[in-house]
Amino acid sequence: MGRHISGIRTRFRLIKALMTLKTTKWVEIATAELENQDTHYRSVYGNLNPIDFFKLLNKRANKSLKELPAYSILNNFDYFKGNRDLNQVWSAEPDVSRFVADIAFLLDAQTVLETGSFVGATTTHIAYALSALGGKRKLYFVDVEQRFLDLALHNISTLGLNALDLYPVCGSTLSDAIISSLHTNFDLMFLDSEHVETGLWKEIQIFLPKLSPKGILLIHDSIRWPGVRRCLLRMQDTHHILNFATSNRNGVSAIIPKSCIKDFK
Ligand SMILES: C[S@@+](CC[C@H](N)C(=O)[O-])C[C@H]1O[C@@H](n2cnc3c(N)ncnc32)[C@H](O)[C@@H]1O
């Protein structure tokens, strides 16, 4: 008699999912199964009282919620310009793009960085918010694919938002050349490039030192992607983290180093 194997049904279900479903689906099933097995795998990690976050934002903001930009020229904007081969679901949900841009606006950000700009759905929103603030603000956006940056830049200029200081940066966020080309600290950083734990964790190590003392780090896909969730779990002792559910269930998290705020009250 062979050794008794426990959870045989679960194992077969997972193998079947692995062999037949697309990656996002089998990862979701495997994750749910891990939770069912009581592995103490935490779905989403957060440790920041929402009201404390908004109080902090209020303290740091030069603008009020009442004045937020309307972004109306961005409604129904075609970011793809006929490039139907591009995977449209890579674009952030409109509510995420607005959220990122609104935080830039409220913080009166002088310098903003987005990693993984793709065709510029969020980049244009940030550009819109920075333009509404006025002055020579800096927007850096990074992508490995030059054609995505070209399209993002094209979209920004079509919308007449190119009076800002724009810095499209082509290359991998994990390469030394990229970090050494960023000659500034950032009031707001939005990470949306690496999504697996090893890659994102490296990005966090690389970019976090570039966050200005009053800055906020935003990370996309912090609900849907297990690697992103695990990175947040790894930051729990050193950072205040607040997660927001978003329209496509991707999620976005606001992260503030604890060293920057001794007491939230
Ligand atoms: C999910 S899309 C980003 C969507 C975009 N932020 C938005 O708000 O619409 C991810 C992008 O990250 C880029 N990317 C992935 N890994 C990268 C890396 N290590 N360095 C730079 N760009 C990367 C991809 O080329 C892709 O355009």
| Each residue's pLDDT tens digit, 133-179 | 999 899 999 999 999 999 999 999 999 998 899 999 999 999 988 98
C-alpha 16 – ligand 1 centre gap (Å): 30
| Residues 152 and 203 sit within 8 Å (Cβ to Cβ) | no
Q: Is there a single domain that holds both residue 69 and residue 148?
A: yes
Q: Is there a single domain that holds both residue 134 and residue 3?
A: no
Mean pLDDT over residues 229-247, rounded? 94
Q: Is there a single domain that holds both residue 24 and residue 57?
A: no
248 Cβ inside 6 Å of ligand 1: no
Q: Is there a single domain that holds both residue 36 and residue 119?
A: no
Q: Looking at ligand 1, which residue's alpha carbon is closest to its atom 9?
A: 91
Write out the two tokens for 198.
């090893």
Q: With a threshold of 0.90, tell me whether the complex ipTM lies above it.
A: yes
User: Which contacts (CB < 8 Å, 24+ apart) does range 16-24 have?
Assistant: 24/224
The verdict on residue 265 lying in a domain is: no
Mutation to probe ligand 1, out of 86, 100, 118 (largest number of atoms < 8 A from CB): 118
CA proximity to 241, closest of 41, 44, 40: 44
Q: Is there a single domain that holds both residue 61 and residue 19?
A: no
C-alpha 265 – ligand 1 centre gap (Å): 36
CA distance 214 to 228: 23
Q: Is there a single domain that holds both residue 34 and residue 50?
A: no
109 Cβ inside 6 Å of ligand 1: no
Q: Is there a single domain that holds both residue 48 and residue 23?
A: no
Q: What angle do CA 235, 239, 242 make, to 5 degrees?
A: 95
Q: Which domain holds residue 143?
A: 42-260
Number of other CB atoms surrounding residue 81 within 10 Å: 12
Q: Is there a single domain that holds both residue 5 and residue 48?
A: no
CA distance 119 to 99: 18
Q: Is there a single domain that holds both residue 193 and residue 88?
A: yes
Q: Is there a single domain that holds both residue 24 and residue 120?
A: no
| Residues 151 and 124 sit within 8 Å (Cβ to Cβ) | no
Instruction: Give pLDDT, residue 38.
Output: 60
Q: Which atom of ligand 1 is nearest to the CA of 118?
A: 27
Q: Is there a single domain that holds both residue 62 and residue 16?
A: no
Q: Looking at ligand 1, which residue's alpha carbon is closest to its atom 4?
A: 91
Q: Is there a single domain that holds both residue 67 and residue 16?
A: no
| Overall number of domains in the chain | 2
Pairing between strand 138-143 and 211-220? unpaired
CA distance 168 to 148: 10
Distance of CA 201 to the CA centre of its chain: 13
Q: Which atom of ligand 1 is nearest to the CA of 90?
A: 1
| Each residue's pLDDT tens digit, 57-114 | 888 888 888 889 999 999 999 999 888 888 888 999 999 999 999 999 999 999 999 9
